[in-house]
Amino acid sequence: MGRRQQPETVGVLDRINNLPDSILSHILSFLPNKEAVRTSILSTRWKYLFASSISILDFEHCLKNLYEEDVNNFMNFVDTLLFNPRDRVHLESFRVNDYFVDDEDDYLPLYGWISTALSRGLKNIGINFINEKVPVLPTLLFTSHSLVTLTLFLHIKDDMKIPTNACLPNLKNLCLTNLAFEDGYSILKLISSCHVLEDLTIYDCCFHSISELNIHNLLLRRLILCFEHVCVRDYDYVMAIDAPSLVYFEYTGIVGKGYTLSNMKSLVKPEISISHFHEVHSERSATQLLQGTCNVQSLHLAIEAFNETFFRTHLDPKLVFHNLVELEFHSYYCYRKGVRLVEFLHNVPNLKTLILDLV
């Protein structure tokens, strides 16, 4: 037998390395972050190429199941990504948490990363902090002209502070969870400064020192309000909503002091779920809440409280749903205590579809 012929290697072109950096970075952008970072060990040229290919950085995904020494490596990686001398990375989405933080000093690099990403045109950011003692968030978080989506989920005991110059002119999506605002008007000012806001979600937030929670926005299309775990004493204000473009409205939790819902002609199918009541105002306030949705064709209504006042007295004659053709009604416990469901149905003269869930 003759000798096996060796493959020809002379004159073979290295087509990959002949490509410009911009093309290589574009190719790396199709890889998962972890795989893209691994290319940094190929050669000196590839050491920082991955940085410009990463547009999404998610701590929730990156920090999962990491040991302490790996966390230090991860922090070095983020430093390299955001502060590398060769290329200025421009993240589109940054989801950050403080799972690796032990004390307040550890927030310094964390806030440095947030501020750097924001200064380079970050569009979407989500912050989930589980520690109760968190320093004041970076001011740039509330004054960014590039942010489109802002999600805040904090477990802090101290009141949230919003800077007086807060303004997010290009923000379209805002989600606030588990926040307490010592100056409730500061967050209302922030919301009103978001002129192109389309989606607003508020979960279990406390607004102190206000008499009225006013949400006025011409472009708002989706509004979710949940006050399920808010103390009654923290809900001593009237809610006013003026959103002529609103299509989806979801309200869950306690019935507050009073409601003014106006210009909701675009509303399609509101979902209202009442779990408990502000005892003093429950009957009148619940009527006001429903009255603001009385022009809709479809309604999801759930009464989940043990309270005995709601729908026990005669309904307000103004509470008539002339356009309602579909009603989905859920009642837990209340129907045994005198909910005037039959009387309520008399106020829905054109109803065609009724779905009942009575437990």
Please give the mean pLDDT across all residues of the chain.
Answer: 80
Cβ–Cβ < 8 Å for 55, 29:
yes
Read off the pTM.
Answer: 0.83
If one compares 318 and 147, the residue with the highest pLDDT of the two is 147
- CA nearest neighbour of 82 among 107, 108, 48: 48
Give the rounded distance of the alpha carbon of 318 from its chain centre: 35
Round to whole Å and give the CA distance between 299 and 292. Answer: 12
pLDDT in tens, 152-175: 998 776 677 888 889 999 999 999
The H or E element that residue 112 is part of is helix 107-119
User: Residue range 223-238: average pLDDT?
Assistant: 79
- Residue 90 — pLDDT band, cuts 50, 70, 90? confident
Cβ–Cβ < 8 Å for 66, 74:
yes
pLDDT in tens, 291-344: 888 889 999 988 875 454 455 555 566 778 889 999 998 876 554 544 567 777
Cβ–Cβ < 8 Å for 237, 209:
no
- 18-26: long-range contacts, CB 8 A cutoff, minimum separation 24: 21/49, 21/52, 24/49, 25/49, 25/50, 25/52, 25/53, 26/53
- Kindly state the tokens that stand for 44: 């000196």
- Kindly state the tokens that stand for 242: 């003026």
pLDDT of residue 69: 66
Cβ–Cβ < 8 Å for 316, 343:
no
Q: Which range scores top for mean pLDDT: 98-102, 124-128, 313-317?
A: 124-128
The H or E element that residue 354 is part of is strand 353-358
